[in-house]
Homo-oligomer: A and B are copies of this chain.
Amino acid sequence: MEETYDKLVERLGEVQDIAAAAGVLGWDQRTKMPAAGAQARADQLSTLTRLVYERFTSDEVGSMLEKLGPWGESLEYGSVEASVIRVARRDYDKARRVPIDLRAEMARAGALGEPVWREARTTSDFALFLPHLEYAVELKKRYIECFQPVDEPYDALLDDFEPGVKTAEVRAVFDELKAGLVPLVAAIAERVDAVDDSALTGDFPVAQQEQVEGTILRAFGFSDDEWRVDETAHPFASKGGPQDVRLTTHHRDQNLTSLFACMHEFGHGLYEYQVDRSLYRTPLGRGASLGVHESQSRMWENMVGRSLPFWEHFFPLVRDAFPAQVNGLDAEAFYRAVNRVRPSLIRIHADEITYNLHIILRFELEQDLVGDRLAPADASEAWDAKIEEYLGIDVPDVADGVLQDMHWSGGAIGYFPTYALGNVISGQLWERMQRELPDLTGQMRNAEFGELRAWLAEHVHCYGRTYMPRELLEREVGGGLDPQPLLRYLNEKFGAIYGLNGA
């Protein structure tokens, strides 16, 4: 049995090598590749992707998994061997359900849809993009058919990003979250002048930004021999290997969005960096899900990087880097400024509170689209209505409305909810951490992040994909998805900033 297992692991390792190579090519494409290299890169990625698929879904892998199944179940559930067999089996069954032609058509439609979306957004022309949206939804429905029976259609999509989590569960969590957030947003709206963030727009030379970012990332745990950070259009994090973590950011010389992007991507990078080395080249060697991943990025960006103790330490760094710009502010005023809440049209610029509402509306629309309750042609109107309902603002333009995100153009439907699930999970983990690391605040005030990193390694990161998100939560916070910790955290933090608690 061990021999078959070794053979399986070698085959899976080879698949991981090819996937990792494709990952480096993807990183290169978005950071270094000369623009005209796009066609050849598409050929290379298409070949590597096909190889990964062919070699993983081969009958040979299937029969090894078949043979190993009972043995795997006889082993300790969390052992590497049992988990490799279990997770590979689940991946294998999912991969085999989808005909290669449908996969290829989805990839093709996504590649064709993206430039059209780009043009449609530039020209604010929803009608131009509509046929592509219709086809993307159509393809997703065919994809869902491969996974019947499902409780509801959206389950099949969500499972690709948040394995084992059901739509009904997310809906309940989001309804509860929405019920808590909408009144908070309304209360803040009445005290909107309590926070002044005018110092955050102006003159921030990129060279100084890079110096500030470097200091903060190094304090977090970044080091040159295992990490790097590069410029890109839409920031992401990527892993070339267990000790090769690559963050990206996008500098603008009129604000500090890049600094927060760096801290966000650091959270993703640290997760990947701290996956146990014994899981390298196995299907377990990366984060458990997009939601758990996002819990890490949002934690470093918001719970650390937008906290008062953090800025009590690092404000002098920013003040010295941009003396004219933040002249006259102190650490607390700067902390308040980076936490200003303001309902706005664009998700990626949204604050820590309203961000969740942007996600919830997309989650609701996506369910309606694939559930045939909303025609793609009516998506823009439905979007605008929800923005009005949740955020109280008008959408003047489809470019800032239904066309703002790239996701649907590439066929990524079912992906959005993971962003807000990440916030929910970060709240649950953060609350437990407060109990277990009572000095966390003091440590952040001293720019000491070692215990925080170690806690996250031990309780979340080391496992990689050993446990599904639900199992991980069960083990680490003793329950399922629960928005209350996030709501408590947001109410406490923003209640203090906006003076709501005593109101």
Contacts and interface: CB of A to CB of B under 8 A. Distances in A.
Interface in A29-43: 32-37, 39-41, 43
A243 interface: yes
Contact of A37 (B21, B44, B241, B280): B241
Contacts of A245: 34
B242 A40 contact: yes
Contacts of A226: 34-37
A109 interface: no
B36 A244 contact: yes
B228 A14 contact: no
Q: Count identical subunits in the complex.
A: 2
A5 interface: no
Given A24-B24, A48-B17, A224 B43 contact: no
A28 interface: yes
A246 to B, nearest CB: 8
Contacts of A243: 34, 36-37, 39-40
A291 to B, nearest CB: 26
A467 to B, nearest CB: 24
Q: Which of A28, A32, A37 has the most B CB atoms < 10 Å from its CB?
A: A37
A20 B37 CA distance: 12
A155 to B, nearest CB: 35
Contacts of A37: 226, 240-241, 243-244
Given A24-B24, A280-B40, A240 B18 contact: no
Given A14-B47, A240-B40, A227 B34 contact: yes
Contacts of A241: 37, 39-41, 43-44
A18 B228 contact: no
A281 B41 CA distance: 12
Contacts of A25: 21, 24-25
Given A47-B17, A48-B17, A33 B225 contact: no
Given A33-B244, A36-B226, 9 more contacts: A21-B22, A28-B28, A34-B225, A34-B245, A36-B225, A39-B243, A40-B242, A40-B280, A41-B241
